[in-house]
Every structure is written in C-alpha cells, then in structure tokens.
C-alpha cells in the first residue's frame, strides 16, 4: 500500500503508527509525502481513520503498454529542413531499461553510449540493461540513430540524451511506487541532465480520481517542475466482443496535465491521407472524472525500432525481428504495435520542439501539439483527441513562438487550430507566447487563474492582437458559449454551430454521450455508448 501524510512533518510519526499496526516499511516516496508499506488487512480500517493519514492507495501493478514513422509525422523533415535533432535535451524513459551498448544508441561522434544515466528501481543493478526489451524499443523510437539500418530506422530525436529509469521487471510488470520513485528521481536530477520530458509507456488501471491518485499527482509534480509528461493512452479500444470500446484510458494518462497519446496506423506508407486510428487505441472519456482524452494520436502500428538480444522480447517476439543493412550478430530491429510505441513518437517530437524553443512550458508544448495536429473526418474527439501528430508543424510553431512578434505565423491550412482545454474546445485564434495559460502556475483545464484572472491563450487575429479568452467560440471575439440541450438531455452543439468536444453523463439511462457534430439541430444524431 502507498500511505500518504498531509505534510512532511507528519510523515515520521505516521511511519511509527504503521509499524505499531504491524506494517513493514518498504520505500520512501517523498514526492507524494508518503511511503510504501506491507500492511495486515486488519489494520487498514483503523489506519484509514487515523488523523495523520491523508490517503491510502493500492500499490497497483503497471505494465508496458521506423522509417515510415518519422516521415509520416514530419520528423524527418524537421531534421533535414529545420536542422533539429534533439541535441542537448534530456529525456527520461521510465520503462524496463535499455541496452546502452547497441549501435543505434551510441554517440555518432565518440562512439560512446548516449544513456547518460541508468537507475534500476527493480533489482538495484548499476550497469544499464533491459531484460524485458520494451524499454529498449521505446528508447530507439525516441532517439535511435539508425546506425544498423543505414539511417532508415532513425528515431524521432536521434541526438537526445537518455536518462533510463528501470521500473519494469523481466516479465514487464512493476508497481506504481517504482514509477513514482522514478518520477521523483527525474525531478531531483532535472537540472543535472537537462531533463525536459518524461516518457511513460507504462500503464495501470484508474481506480480513483486523478486529484488523489499518487501516480497522477506525481506526474503533476513533474509538470509543475517544468517537465513534460507524455503517457500512453492504453490499448483498450476494442471490446471483448470485437466492437469499439470507449472509456479505456489508463493512468497516468487520465490526468489533464499529462500529454496522453493514442495510436494511429500509417498503413505502411508515408502518405498521411491513408492514416487510420489503430483499433486497439484507448478512447476517452476517462474513468471517474469523465475527462476528454486522448490529447493526440501518433503512429503506433508496426513500429520498427530496436531489439535487445538479451531480453525476453527477443525470444517471445521472434517472429517480428528484423535485420538491418549492416552485418550484426543478431537481428537489431523489432516491429511492435501499441500506444506504448505511439507515446515515444510524441516524446521525441517534444524533444525537437524544446531544442527549437527551450522556453516552452509543459502547457505550451501540449497546446502547440494539439493546435498543429491534423484532424481526420470520421473520428470523434474521444478517439483522435485534437488530431494526428504533426511533428513538423509543432516544431515550426515552437520556433515561431521563440522569435519576435514580427515573425510570420506558419501556414495552418491543414492544422486543427484548436486546443482541447479540459473538456472545452478552444478555437478562433492563434497561439501566442505570452498567454497566461502557459504559465507554470496554471493547471491544464482550469476555469480561471489562481487569482481569479481569466485564462488567455493568444490573439484572435495577428494584425489586431485581440485577446482570446478560454471558452470563446465566436470567431475570435470574447463571448459566452451557449450549449444547446434537447429533450433527451443530450448536448448537441453550440449556439453558433461550432464543433464541440463531448457531452453529458447524466441522461436518464446514465449513458455517456460522445459528440462532435457541427450541427445544432435535433435531427443530428449523437453517438451514444454505454459507459463501461
């Protein structure tokens, strides 16, 4: 169990209470003012009522949830045309580890490894390794240099520095306490390794609201420290009977401050026109809080990245091993699918953005990715979020916001030009670098600033600089949005016919309504699904 105290002062006294109750202390978790302990069942009810205990949570299990990929999202163009490769940006990979000796994870200039730091929260070993293989594959997607494929299977940000934090064992399982400890490590060593983004291709179930879950709160602490947290949405988009299932977002991707990534399929081509949503990709809304997720989708089907010959994957996934273009004693690549593969595509993109504009906050990074995403017809926002990742557009906009106000705004012809702020759809303007929505003190999805000030995101028109307030949907002018509610209790749209995000969970049958129609007429049929 993970036991939290209301503050650090109470923590030491609480450990004594737990020990008097027959508990055994396992690990300190200062990030959440708590610790891990084994407890007798008989002690739980009394501890839950103790004044020094603020929260008790189950130490839940977590599990591990390229050439076409880079081209499809535009990352190859970022490297070739804009010159960014993630150099200098530290990426913390919280996963099953990574094999630092692999050719594709070596430094092209020195030949040495690019794993700057390795910490093993499972077995306590000092040398970098990966006995499962999941983390190595993720690391290759983010920062592989494509050495064994002649550059074809290059990762998204091949010059990024890697901080590998092992939390999954050789069977791909771990505990959320290990993940929390790894997040704490990343925060504590943020400046030493310039850690700007954390990749969490690990997932666990949602059993409590995100504002009390120790895992999601740990992710919030990282975001508040200036680190972008990217998490896989989960692989629960298909129901056991074979149909599409909503409500399968996993933790910590259920938290609004996390950049949550679903999976798309590039269909084996570099042409964006034929991209589809992966059938397994988890849809929103989130359990308990009913939040709109995922935030964006990225390629996650048939992703070719690094294999580790000393891992379980090398045996269990042998049918998916791939050869390189240079002689090696093993097959250096592996093709895998999952939102675990989609998340590092976004993480690598974030590294490119932060190289282009180191001043970006986590909120700004998330907004830019959503705003520049490409929407596809036929998918609601609980399936594709803001749209399909557009890495080139995201980096171009990051670069623009780092420059002076005179810099020409990038072409947004095929962008969503929208931001999903909590459960609101924001549109009608341009992102600006000085919007207070990007401040470190602003929680994603909040209605107002902590001091009551309206939250702003940019300008309605670049020539006038008119301010746009969150919730505006009147072509850029400040206004109030009116929801149209019909007899069924279903919210259909807005008074001005704009497309909106998603709807209610309080109709007569308790169903959740998924909607994305741009029609404010009762004849527009919303999509209704039964909440799981």
Is 520 designated active site?
no
Tally the residues of the chain: 532
In the annotation, is 95 catalytic? yes
Q: Are 252 and 216 in contact (CB under 8 A)?
A: yes
Pair 49, 17: CB distance under 8 Å: no
Would you give the end-to-end CA distance of the chain in angstroms?
26
* Beta pairing class for 34-38 and 2-4: antiparallel
* Active-site position among 307, 340, 372, 459: 340
As separate numbers, helices (DSSP H) first and strands (DSSP E) second, the chain gives 13, 27
Rounded Cα distance between 373 and 362, Å, is 17
> Which residue, chain included where needed, has tokens 């550059």?
151
Q: 174: which strand partners? A: 62
**Cβ contact 234:213 at 8 Å:** no
Whether omega for the bond prior to residue 252 falls within 30 degrees of 0, making it cis, is: yes
Catalytic residue among 95, 131, 184, 275: 95
Q: Shortest CA distance to 121 belongs to which of 56, 169, 70? A: 169
d(Cα 254, Cα 207) in Å, to the nearest integer? 11
Cα 490 from Cα 495, distance rounded (Å)? 14
| Distance, CA of 332 to CA of 19 (rounded, Å) | 49
Two tokens, residue 141: 């997607």
- Distance from C-alpha of 389 to C-alpha of 512, rounded to nearest angstrom: 27
Q: What is the 3-state secondary structure (H, E, C) of 100-120?
A: CCCHHHECCCCCCECEEEEEE
Chain centre to alpha carbon of residue 111: 31
Kindly tell me the sign of the dihedral angle through the C-alpha atoms of 293, 75, 202, 8. negative
Alpha helix ranges (H) inside 50-157:
67-73, 75-77, 134-143
Q: State the Cα–Cα distance between residues 477 and 190, nearest whole angstrom.
A: 40
- Answer for the pair 305, 154: CB distance below 8 angstroms, yes or no: no
Exposure on the CB side of residue 386, measured as CA atoms within 13 A: 30
User: Tokens representing 350?
Assistant: 């974030």
Neighbours of 320 (CB within 10 A): 16
Residue 443 CA from chain centroid, whole number: 16
Check if 184 is active-site: no
| 3-state DSSP percent of the chain in helix, strand and coil, to 5 | 25, 25, 50
The one catalytic residue among 104, 131, 134, 201: 134
For the annotated catalytic residues, the residue numbers are 95, 134, 340
């Amino acid at each position: 169990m993970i036991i939290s105290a209301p503050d650090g002062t109470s923590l030491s006294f609480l450990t004594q209470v737990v020990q008097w109750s027959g508990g055994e202390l396992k690990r300190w978790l200062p990030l959440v003012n708590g610790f891990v302990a084994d407890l007798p069942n008989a002690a739980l009810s009394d501890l839950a009522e103790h004044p020094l205990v603020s929260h008790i949570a189950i130490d839940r299990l977590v599990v591990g949830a390229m050439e076409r990929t880079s081209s499809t999202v535009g990352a190859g163009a970022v490297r070739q045309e804009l010159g960014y490769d993630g150099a200098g940006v530290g990426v913390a990979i919280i996963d099953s580890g990574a094999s630092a000796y692999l050719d594709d994870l070596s430094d092209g200039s020195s030949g040495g490894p690019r794993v700057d730091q390795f910490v093993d929260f499972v077995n306590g070993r000092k040398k970098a390794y990966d006995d499962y293989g999941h983390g190595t594959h993720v690391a290759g997607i983010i920062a592989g240099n494509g050495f064994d494929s002649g550059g074809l299977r290059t990762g998204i940000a091949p010059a990024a520095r890697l901080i590998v934090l092992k939390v999954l064992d050789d069977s791909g399982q771990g505990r959320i306490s290990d993940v929390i400890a790894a997040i704490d490590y990343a925060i504590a060593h943020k400046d030493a390794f310039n850690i700007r983004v954390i990749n969490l291709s690990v997932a666990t179930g949602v059993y409590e609201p995100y504002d009390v879950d120790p895992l999601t709160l740990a992710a919030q602490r990282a975001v508040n420290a200036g680190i972008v947290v990217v998490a896989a949405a989960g692989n629960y988009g298909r129901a056991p009977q074979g149909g599409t299932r909503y409500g399968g977002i996993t933790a910590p991707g259920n938290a609004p401050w996390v950049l949550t990534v679903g999976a798309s399929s590039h269909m084996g081509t570099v042409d964006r026109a034929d991209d589809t949503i992966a059938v397994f990709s988890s849809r929103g809304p989130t359990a308990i809080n009913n939040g709109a997720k995922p935030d964006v989708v990225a390629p996650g089907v048939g992703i070719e990245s690094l294999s580790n010959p000393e891992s379980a994957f090398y045996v269990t996934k042998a049918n998916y091993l791939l050869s390189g273009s240079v002689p090696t004693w093993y097959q250096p690549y592996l093709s895998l699918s999952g939102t675990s593969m989609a998340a590092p595509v976004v993480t690598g993109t974030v590294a490119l953005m932060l190289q282009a504009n180191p001043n970006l906050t986590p909120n700004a990074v998330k907004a830019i990715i959503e705003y520049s995403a490409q929407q596809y017809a036929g998918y609601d926002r609980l399936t594709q979020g803001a749209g399909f990742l557009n890495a080139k557009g995201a980096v171009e906009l990051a670069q623009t916001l780092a420059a002076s106000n005179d810099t020409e705004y990038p072409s947004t012809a095929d962008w969503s030009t929208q931001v999903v702020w909590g459960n609101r759809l924001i549109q009608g303007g341009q992102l600006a670098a000085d919007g207070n929505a990007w401040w470190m003190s602003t929680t994603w999805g909040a209605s107002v600033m902590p001091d009551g000030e309206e939250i702003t995101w940019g300008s309605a028109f670049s020539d006038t600089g008119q301010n746009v307030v969150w919730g505006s949907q009147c072509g850029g002018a400040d206004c109030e949005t009116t929801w149209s509610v019909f007899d069924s209790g279903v919210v259909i749209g807005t008074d001005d016919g704009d497309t909106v995000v998603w709807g209610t969970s309080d109709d007569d049958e308790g169903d959740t309504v998924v909607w994305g129609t741009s029609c404010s007429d009762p004849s527009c049929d919303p999509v209704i699904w039964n909440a799981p």
